[in-house]
C-alpha cells in the first residue's frame, strides 16, 4: 500500500470518526458549545473594536467623518429607491374572464420538420394557468 492510499484511508476513516465525535457524542456537544461561546466573545470584542476605533483621534489630513458620508449616501439611495417605487405603476390582478389567454384548437398536433424549414402558421398546443390555487397549510391531512 502506497503513501497516497494510506493518507486517503486515514482521511476517510478519521474523517468519519471526527464527524461521529462532533455530532453524536456528549463531548462533541460540549466542544460545539465551547466553540460557539468563543465565537460569540470574539464577535463582541470585534464589535467593540469597530465602535471604539472611529471615536479615537485620527491623524492629521485624514477624513474623520467618512462613515457619516457613507450613511448620507445610503439614505439618499434609499430615498431614490422609495421614490422610484412610488412612481412605478402597479399592475392589477388579472381576472379569469378578462385575461388575454391564448386559445388552443382541439385535435391539432405538433408539426414535425426534418431539416431546415419555415412554419408560417404558429399555434399553441397547450395552456395552463398556474399560481391560482391557494397554498394548503395542513399538508393534505
- Tell me, yes or no, whether 41 lies in a domain: yes
Within a domain: residue 54? yes
Locate all alpha helices (DSSP H) within 25-141, ordered by sequence. 26-55, 66-87
Within a domain: 94: no
Domain count for the chain, please give it: 1
Q: What is the pLDDT of residue 33?
A: 93
Q: In which domain, by residue range, is 64 found? A: 3-80
Instruction: Please report whether residue 104 resides in a domain.
Output: no
Decide if 123 contacts 105 (C-beta within 8 A).
Answer: yes
Give residues with Cβ within 8 angstroms of 27, minimum separation 6: 21
Give dist(CA 10, CA 1) in Å, integer.
13
Look at residue 136 and tell me if it is in a domain. no
Whether residue 102 is contained in a domain is answered as: no
Q: What is residue 117's predicted lDDT score, i.e. its pLDDT? A: 73
Q: How confident is the prediction along the chain (141 residues), in pLDDT tens digits per residue?
A: 688 888 888 888 888 999 999 899 999 999 999 999 999 999 999 988 888 877 766 666 656 667 777 888 899 999 999 998 888 877 776 665 655 665 666 666 666 777 777 766 666 666 666 666 666 666 655
Q: Is residue 18 part of a domain?
A: yes
In a domain, residue 69? The reply is yes
Please give the pLDDT value at position 4: 86
| Cell numbers found for residue 82 | 422609495
Amino acid at each position: 500500500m502506497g503513501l497516497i492510499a494510506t493518507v486517503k484511508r486515514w482521511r476517510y476513516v478519521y474523517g468519519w470518526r471526527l464527524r461521529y465525535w462532533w455530532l453524536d457524542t456528549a463531548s462533541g456537544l460540549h466542544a460545539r458549545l465551547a466553540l460557539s461561546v468563543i465565537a460569540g466573545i470574539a464577535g463582541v470584542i470585534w464589535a467593540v473594536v469597530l465602535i471604539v476605533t472611529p471615536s479615537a483621534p485620527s491623524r492629521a489630513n485624514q477624513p474623520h467623518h467618512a462613515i457619516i458620508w457613507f450613511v448620507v449616501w445610503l439614505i439618499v439611495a434609499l430615498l431614490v429607491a422609495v421614490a422610484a417605487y412610488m412612481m412605478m405603476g402597479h399592475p392589477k390582478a388579472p381576472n379569469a374572464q378578462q385575461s388575454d389567454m391564448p386559445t388552443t384548437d382541439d385535435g391539432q398536433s405538433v408539426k414535425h420538420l426534418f431539416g431546415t424549414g419555415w412554419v408560417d402558421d404558429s399555434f399553441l398546443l397547450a395552456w395552463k394557468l398556474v399560481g391560482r390555487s391557494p397554498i394548503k397549510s395542513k399538508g393534505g391531512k
